Amino acid sequence: MKRLLYILFTLPLCLNAQNMYNISSIFDNDLAGTARYIGMGGSMSALGADLSTMATNPAGTAMYRSNDFAFTAGLNAKTNKANYEGRVTTSDKLNAFVGNTAMLFSMNYDGDRLKYLNFGLGYRYKNNLTGEFEMSGASNGFSQQFVMRQLYNDSPFDFKNLTSWDYTDLNSSWLPLLAADADAWLGNGNDFITYPGDSLVWPPSDLAYYEETRGGVHVIDFNLSANIMDRLYLGATVSVSNVDCNRYSAYSEIDDVGAIYTIENDLMLKGTGYDLKLGAIYRPFEYSPFKVGVSVHTPTLYYLKEYSWAAITDPDYKTFSTVDSERYGTELFNTTRLSSPWRFNASMSYTFDTYLALNAEYEFAGYSTAEYKGNEYVPLAQNEEIKCNLKSQHTARLGAEINVEGIAVRVGYNYITSPFARDAYKDMCNASVAETSTDYMNRYEKNIVTCGFGFRGKSFYFDVAYMMEAQKADFYPFYDTEYANPAAKVDCINHTAMATVGMRF
């Protein structure tokens, strides 16, 4: 029996190759900032007086009456446990990172109305996407090859006599084209991948998948805030985001002899985004510390560039490469303009002297409002996919801090709903013809528990925090349009420890 081993990397064409699963992760906001902010579960939008509030409610920095500088670093451990048809696979990843660096300059005006005008500058790691994931299990009759066959049926081609025209025809999916390049039909005279009656030429007994992601989204915040009569606090933050992440995956189908084939995808996403945040905090009662806050985050307009490569290697080590200008062309990337969801935040806080601080808040993010931007080349099918498969996300945050003679103890909790519809899936028939990766993961609600403590001196301060995130997900190596193929049930556990050193002067 002739074995086939081919290596595929996601391919570029003039059509956009991104899909909602590639881009939804950069929309998320990790719980990231100073250790004090993390220890309170990020629930400080009405309480204020922390550098991290630049990113949630920009008016929070108006509480400052002195200058501030802080540096925060952390250690993150991610564990993903996948159960596919009774077979459990665990993957772990440990990484260190700089979570936040920020400074604020406070100017005392001491006027009748304007008391303080503050300017802040900060860096934060908005999305730490670094991690690993793997799963394996019995195929039980399901196979990615049926997806290839369906894509071929939608746009058939002469798989025995491929020409450069087949690779430039925007109606033909690259997934079956590359399978044909690797002689996937061998062993069967005139039918592609399957025999008459749709039984596979090479049926698998097992499936296996591995994924490794590096990088994420880094943000620079420029903040301006004002204290009006110690009752009204106003703020604005302009944020500049840098997207830099790489995703590698390998999918294999195996029988009793060995690997039938392996598909590897390598995708690099780079770009820049811009957004504006506006916020206000109001103390409605003159002699009460009770405060309410609101903020709105405009969509981030991303300018993204997607780099991707492809090569096919057969058992004789013959390689088909995307740098072959006669067949694939020389363009190895595509560009996109993308708009993220709107976000709205409402919060309230109360302090009991200097001993106890409480904060509660709610945040809304309309993920279904995200869209690709452009002119006549806007991929309308992808925008419809976003509207149908993504939904609004709701976040509730609670935080508390007890402070006794400069020693503080903090706790926090977050509940975050899923941005995915329960029946969301990746439809390769509506994907770009350049899309060769069939896998996708639907992430469900997330629970975050945090705690921490800190020390405050006359000017120096030191804080530490611990955060545990727990989330369930369904992972699919592909979507079978005719039969509902099973999902790998995934438990995602994320442990993070962070420390902040800072100085107020």
Q: What is the 3-class SS of 257-275, one letter each residue?
A: CCEEEEEEEEEEEEEEEEE
Give percent of the chain with pLDDT exceeding 90. Answer: 58
User: What is the reported pLDDT for 374?
Assistant: 65
What is residue 120's predicted lDDT score, i.e. its pLDDT?
A: 96
pLDDT tier for residue 67 given thresholds of 50, 70 and 90: very high
CB 295 within 8 A of CB 345: yes
Q: Is 89 within 8 Å of 136 (Cβ atoms)?
A: yes
Closest C-alpha among 54, 47, 51, 49 to residue 72: 51
CA angle 445, 448, 450 (to 5 degrees): 175
pLDDT band for position 11 (50/70/90)?
A: very low
Predicted confidence at residue 325, as pLDDT, reads 46
Q: DSSP string of 207-220?
A: EEEEEEEEEEEEEE
Task: Report the SS3 class of residue 68.
Answer: strand
Give the least confident one: 296-305, 311-320, 431-440, 455-464. 311-320
pLDDT of 260 higher than 90? no
pLDDT band at 300 (very low <50, low <70, confident <90, very high): very high
| 250-280 core/surface letters (b: 16 or more CB in 10 A; e: else) | bbbbbeeeeebbbbbbbbbbbbebebebbbb
Are the beta carbons of 400 and 452 closer than 8 angstroms?
no
Rounded average pLDDT over 32-43: 95
Tell whether the model's pLDDT for residue 2 goes beyond 50. Answer: no
Q: Which CATH class is domain 20-504?
A: mainly beta
Q: Which of 151, 41, 140, 62 is nearest to 107 (CA)?
A: 62
pLDDT score, position 274: 96
Q: Could you report the per-residue pLDDT of 481-503, keeping only the tens digit for each?
A: 888 889 999 999 999 999 999 99
Distance CA 35, CA 301 (A): 29
For the cut 90, the answer to whether the pLDDT of residue 232 exceeds it is yes
pLDDT computed for residue 13 by the predictor:
37
Q: Say how far apart CA 260 and CA 136 lie, in whole Å.
A: 15
**Exposed/middle/buried for 357, CB within 10 Å: 0-12, 13-18, 19+?**
buried
Is the pLDDT at 316 greater than 60, yes or no? no
In this predicted structure, what is the pLDDT of residue 109? 86
Token pair, residue 505, equals 């002067």
Task: Say if residue 87's pLDDT is above 90.
Answer: yes
Q: Write out pLDDT tens, residues 468-481.
A: 999 999 999 999 88
Categorize the per-residue pLDDT at 6 as very low, low, confident or very high, splitting at 50, 70 and 90. Answer: very low
Read off the pLDDT of residues 409-429 as tens digits, 9 standing for 90 and up. 999 999 999 999 888 888 887
pLDDT band at 117 (very low <50, low <70, confident <90, very high): very high
Confidence at residue 12, expressed as pLDDT on a 0 to 100 scale: 36
Cα(23)–Cα(28) distance, integer angstroms: 10
What pLDDT does 446 receive?
Answer: 96
pLDDT tens digit string along 127-154? 999 999 999 999 999 998 898 888 888 8
- Please name which of 438, 444, 443 lies closest in space to residue 426, comparing C-alpha atoms: 438
CA 259 to chain centre: 31
Task: Place 7 in a pLDDT band, splitting at 50, 70 and 90.
Answer: very low
3-state SS, one letter per residue, for 228-253: ECCCEEEEEEEEEEEEEEEEEEEEEE
| Strand pairing class (291-297; 206-228) | unpaired
Give the Cα separation of 369 and 360 in Å (integer).
Answer: 26
Q: What is the model's pLDDT at position 331? A: 47
The pLDDT of residue 16: 46
Average pLDDT, the chain: 86
Tens of pLDDT, residues 149-178:
888 888 887 777 777 666 666 667 778 877
Residue 148 has a pLDDT of 86
- CA distance linking residue 493 with residue 226, whole number of Å: 40
- Count H helices, E strands: the chain? 6, 20
Distance CA 23, CA 326 (A): 31
Please check the confidence at residue 349 and state whether its pLDDT lies above 60.
yes
* Residue 208 to residues 21, 135, 201, 441, 468, Cα–Cα distance (Å): 20, 6, 19, 15, 28
Specify the 3-state DSSP secondary structure of 150. helix
Provide the percentage of residues in the chain whose pLDDT is more than 70.
Answer: 86
DSSP state of 104: E
Q: Is the pLDDT of residue 14 over 50?
A: no
Q: Which residue has the higher pLDDT, 224 or 314?
A: 224
> Three-state SS for 487?
coil
Q: Which of 16-25, 31-40, 270-279 has the lowest mean pLDDT?
A: 16-25
Average confidence (pLDDT) over 39-65? 95
Mean pLDDT of 176-201: 72
- Cα 453 from chain centroid (whole Å): 29
Rounded Cα–Cα distance for residues 36 and 20 (Å): 34
pLDDT band at 5 (very low <50, low <70, confident <90, very high): very low
For residue 181, what is the DSSP state? H
Where are the strands (E) in 322-379, listed by range? 333-339, 343-352, 356-366, 371-373
- List the domain boundaries for the chain: 20-504
Model confidence at 15, pLDDT cuts 50, 70, 90, reads: very low
pLDDT beyond 50 at 330: no
Res 177: pLDDT: 78
Residue 85 has pLDDT above 70, yes or no: yes
CA 412/CA 467 separation, integer angstroms? 9
Report strand pairing: 460-476 vs 114-128: unpaired
Q: What is the pLDDT of residue 474?
A: 94
Our CA angle for 272, 295, 124, nearest 5°, is 40
Per-residue confidence at 8, pLDDT binned at 50, 70, 90? very low
Q: Which helix (H) or strand (E) holds 326?
A: none
Query: Which residues contact residue 43 at a Cβ distance below 8 angstroms, ignoring those fewer than 6 apart?
Result: 347, 359, 360, 361, 397, 398, 399, 412, 414
CB-CB contact of 329 with 323 (8 Å): no
Residue 326: how many other CB atoms lie within 10 Å: 8
DSSP 194: B
For residue 435, what is the DSSP state?
-
pLDDT reported for residue 10: 35
pLDDT of the residue at 1: 29
Spell out the residues 6+ positions from residue 296 whose beta carbon is closer than 8 angstroms to its own.
277, 278, 279, 342, 343, 344, 345
The reported pTM is 0.88
